[in-house]
Amino acid sequence: MKRIGTTSLISFLLLISTSQCLQRKEPAITKELIEFAGRYVGILPCADCDGIKYDLTLSADGTYSEEVKYLGRSDEIFHQSGNWHLESDSTLLVESDDDPRSFASAGEKLILLDKNGKKMNVSSSEMYSLKRVGDDFDKVLNQAMNMGRMGMMNMVMEDMETDFSAHGNEPYWTLKVDFENGITFKTMDEMEIRAAVLQVGQVQDSKLIRFKGEEGTTSLIVTVGEESCSDGMSDEIFRNKVRVDLKNEGDENYTTYEGCGNYLIDYRLHDIWVLTHINNKPIESVDESPTFEFYSKEEKMMGNMGCNEFNGTFYRSGKNELRIGELALTRKMCPDMSTEQVLSRLSGKRVKYAIEDLNLTLTEYDGTSLTFKKVD
């Protein structure tokens, strides 16, 4: 039997579509819809079950059908069908009266977006992805089933070990930097490079940092600038503009990839810390023990400085660096405010940080060091 080529098949389907549209008003089959059409499966995160088995079929005529099963809760399978359409070159909307869903295209995958059409979390986008399947459907589904809740937890733990995450579009690529284990760079055409971090360069108190790594004869240079960045697809705003320069031995020039990224949360900060030393000297008596409380996920901080209470924001801005926002303080007058005067200088500053055992050290770029003890 003679096989029909892809171009011929698309032309044939378009011809059928044109003929049918003359007879009845239905969504026209277009080349773009044909390219997205297919079956996508995956196991999505679930708050109160072992995972959501999601099986979505997109048809080239703009209709869809789906099967949803809540693993570990019941054997019931929920069916739904309706229409879908492209909202842009890289996003599509599955229409539903009660729960419309948007997806971003990433090669042979669809990534579920939130209610605002933005990615859930760049670093954990794999947890919200569906893979296009064909003859290997059973293999893909079994892998997802075997991963289950434990696999999802492992992915979360892997993200927690990642210090910096970035991605770009046109072409799609992802980057993870683990300062202990190296750089992982992937592209849509399945190129993957895992390079040890050989050097981390940052000028003192600078908004620019550069990571360099190598794998075999391939070298990577990752330049991260603290500059507001939009990925051009989800409209999510990231804190860092990222450039990846890749070069293989024998290449005359580097291949450049551009995108956006963020330093990820250091969950070790999330706790209550009591000040014990300034410049390695025990603090003198104050009305109250100066206390800093960090909320890592929310990137908020609060506490007291020995006299006045404060609240504000912070975020990770480098390998071992925090950017503290402008702090709001109460205005009480106390007999001795010398300790507070030192602590209040952190407002709006960048500081280096180190966590060892139960101690947190914040060091200003003028050399002033503050040592805190973790408390329950």
The domain segmentation of the chain, as residue ranges, is 6-158, 161-263, 267-375
- pTM (two decimals): 0.56
Is the separation of the CB atoms in 182 and 213 below 8 Å? yes
pLDDT of residue 83: 92
Our CA angle for 62, 99, 105, nearest 5°, is 50
d(Cα 110, Cα 42) in Å, to the nearest integer? 10
Q: Domain spanning 267-375: which CATH class is it, in words?
A: mainly beta
pLDDT per position as a tens digit, 47-80: 677 788 899 999 888 899 999 988 878 889 999 9
Length of the chain as a residue count: 376
CATH architecture of 6-158: Beta Barrel (2.40)
Which residues touch 137 (CB under 8 Å, ≥6 apart)?
39, 41
pLDDT per position as a tens digit, 243-292: 999 998 888 899 999 999 999 888 889 889 999 999 999 987 656 789 99
Q: Around 316, how many Cα atoms within 13 Å sit in the side-chain half-sphere?
A: 24
Instruction: Tell the residue number behind the tokens 């070790």, with chain if given.
Output: 268
Residues of the chain falling short of pLDDT 70: 1-31, 47, 120-126, 134-161, 198-199, 202-206, 232-235, 285-287, 376
Same fold, 6-158 and 267-375: yes
